[in-house]
């Protein structure tokens, strides 16, 4: 069956392929690869992976493209849901016999609600999507495919859950990088703290950490950590080098790349001869020996979720890490010359003006190369969502504006929605407008024309969003 794997054009600059990171319109243009869709695209003959947002493909163009296919699998998100449903209905109107499946966290958590939302959705896939989509495209009846939900004579049918792919199954999947070469333009993917152009793929699935807010492990990939073999990862790195000679960096897009020390050391030993620059995700429990091996193997930057500088909030969200561990980790990274992009969240359980100030002081002490400050969002299926519902902390507001920018849909006693938004802006201002950070940015721009152009564009976009958020705070205050 001729199949289109679709990351839809929900909002301008909307990054729906953000995996465990928040799917949202970014403060600065950022596009992560739709890695999850790349694997079924590789399993299905006569398929195409269409990643609309970074390629500037409009809804009208998407509908026209979909009309040339028999089956569309659309990756959806909570923020983009309404737009995605409308797009599916328009695709169906243009080609009534088109089969449409929705995949992603919202339909995994609420399959019945998804199917009732629109007759344009023929079925949904729960959890991992690789083989259910491939089996349907090959002609297998839905009733015989594990892990799907569909309508049958007015009733909603849920087939038995599908076991998560195991280590050997991950090795058997096609290389995502082959699909990028076939279907995508890698120059369209830009993340401010990664070298451009970069290529991203997974070396593992699942995350054993129990962070209450993190979307992906609680909905799609699970907490069971499953890994590709070292030989498989190295083979794809070599293949990416062959396919993309212009590639400046590989990003290992695992939920947590450096989870297991023994495996990380083995991977680093195999990576070292390749002389490939790479970056990855990490947690603050990563010890000095592991970090040193990573640096020697070509690692340049780590994305680390610090979240909060308040010990009680870290306990509330089951982070499994302490402020003291974070400080030690950052000291080791600085000693080894590893850059760190630090993620922080405002509005987690227990947040107050005092804890926000504590987190700002913590971020200042850590002094990461770059940071991201997110508004806390509780997506359906997460423990954070259940907590907010139990305590009635949700408001009636949307979690994003009309362009997909994050807005708080929660407030706590003594901390309003407007104060949460204002805190994010104040956090960025106080962090980036320090003399040492300004000097660091200017130094990078002075000696690198590519960085100079990119930094100018990012600064302009950030200031535009900053103005928009300040207007929101003023509106709430009135």
Q: Which is more confident, 449 or 394?
A: 394
Query: What's the rounded mean pLDDT across residues 449-459?
Result: 58
Q: What pLDDT does residue 407 have? A: 78
Range from 28-42, 166-180, 375-389 carrying the lowest mean pLDDT: 28-42
pLDDT surpassing 90 at residue 168: yes
pLDDT surpassing 70 at residue 222: yes
Give CA–CA dist 147/126, Å, rounded: 5
Q: What pLDDT does residue 434 have? A: 80
The three-state secondary structure class of 345 is strand
- In 3D space, the residue among 470, 381, 453, 406 whose CA is nearest the CA of residue 22 turns out to be 406
Model pLDDT for residues 287-325, shown as the tens digit of each residue: 999 999 999 999 999 999 999 999 999 999 999 999 999
DSSP letter string over 8-34? ---STTEETT-TTSPPEE-SS------
The three-state secondary structure class of 7 is strand
Give CA–CA dist 410/420, Å, rounded: 9
Which H or E run includes 4? strand 3-7
Give CA–CA dist 339/351, Å, rounded: 28
pTM confidence score: 0.90
Model pLDDT for residues 346-368, shown as the tens digit of each residue: 999 999 999 999 999 999 999 99
Which H or E run includes 339? strand 339-346
The CATH classification number of 3-126+129-158 equals 3.40.50
C-alpha distance from residue 417 to each of 121, 345, 349, 400 (Å): 34, 14, 14, 12
Report the 10 Å Cβ neighbour count for 436.
8
pLDDT surpassing 70 at residue 465: no
- In 3D space, the residue among 320, 392, 310, 317 whose CA is nearest the CA of residue 354 turns out to be 310
Query: What's the rounded mean pLDDT across residues 409-433?
Result: 91
Give CA–CA dist 27/35, Å, rounded: 22
Highest mean pLDDT among 71-85, 223-237, 371-385: 223-237
Query: What's the rounded mean pLDDT across residues 1-24?
Result: 74
pLDDT surpassing 90 at residue 454: no
The set of residues, in sequence order, having a beta carbon less than 8 Å from that of 192 and lying 6+ positions away, is 28, 30, 370, 454, 458
- In 3D space, the residue among 442, 400, 357 whose CA is nearest the CA of residue 22 turns out to be 400
Q: Where are the domains of the chain?
A: 3-126+129-158, 168-383+423-444
In CATH terms, the fold of domain 168-383+423-444 is pyruvate-formate lyase- activating enzyme (3.80.30)
């Amino acid at each position: 069956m001729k199949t289109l794997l679709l990351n839809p054009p929900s909002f301008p600059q909307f990054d729906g392929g953000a995996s465990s990171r928040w799917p949202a319109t970014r403060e600065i243009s950022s596009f992560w690869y739709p890695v999850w869709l790349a694997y079924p695209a590789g399993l299905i003959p006569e398929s195409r992976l269409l990643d609309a947002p970074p390629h500037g493909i409009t809804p009208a163009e998407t509908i026209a493209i979909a009309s040339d296919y028999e089956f569309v699998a659309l990756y959806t998100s909570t923020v983009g849901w309404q737009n995605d449903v409308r797009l599916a209905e328009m695709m169906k109107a243009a080609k009534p016999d088109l089969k449409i499946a929705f995949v992603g966290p919202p339909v995994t958590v609420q399959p019945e609600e998804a199917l009732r939302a629109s007759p344009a959705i023929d079925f949904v896939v729960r959890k991992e999507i690789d083989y259910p989509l491939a089996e349907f495209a090959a002609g297998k009846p839905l009733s015989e495919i594990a892990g799907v939900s569909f309508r049958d004579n007015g009733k909603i049918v849920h087939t038995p859950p599908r076991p998560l792919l195991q280590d050997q199954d991950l090795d058997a999947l096609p290389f995502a990088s082959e699909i990028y070469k076939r279907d995508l333009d890698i120059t369209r993917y830009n993340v401010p703290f990664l070298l451009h152009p970069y290529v991203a793929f997974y070396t593992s699935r699942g995350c054993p950490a129990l962070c209450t807010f993190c979307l992906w492990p609680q909905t799609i990939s699970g907490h069971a950590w499953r890994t590709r073999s070292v030989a498989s990862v190295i083979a794809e790195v070599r293949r990416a080098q062959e396919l993309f000679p212009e590639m400046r960096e590989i990003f290992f897009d695992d939920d947590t790349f450096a989870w297991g020390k023994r495996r990380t050391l083995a991977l680093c030993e195999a990576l070292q001869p390749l002389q490939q620059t790479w970056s990855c995700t990490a947690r603050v429990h990563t010890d000095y020996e592991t970090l040193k091996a990573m640096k020697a193997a070509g690692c340049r930057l780590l994305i680390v979720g610090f979240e909060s500088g308040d010990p009680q909030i870290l306990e509330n969200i089951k982070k499994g890490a302490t402020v003291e561990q974070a400080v030690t980790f950052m000291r080791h990274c600085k000693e080894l010359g590893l850059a760190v992009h630090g993620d922080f969240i405002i509005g987690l359980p227990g947040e107050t003006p005092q804890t926000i100030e504590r987190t700002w002081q913590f971020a200042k002490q850590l002094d990461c190369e770059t940071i991201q400050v997110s508004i806390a969002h509780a997506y359906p299926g997460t423990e954070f969502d259940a907590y907010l519902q139990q305590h009635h902390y949700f408001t009636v507001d949307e979690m994003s504006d009309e362009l997909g920018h994050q807005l708080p849909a929660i407030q706590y006693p003594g901390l309003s929605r407007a104060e949460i938004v204002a805190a994010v802006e104040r956090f960025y201002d106080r962090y980036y407008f320090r003399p040492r950070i300004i000097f660091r940015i200017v130094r990078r721009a002075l000696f690198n024309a590519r960085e100079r152009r990119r930094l100018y564009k990012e600064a302009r976009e950030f200031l535009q969003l900053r103005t928009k958020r300040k207007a929101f705070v003023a509106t709430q205050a009135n």
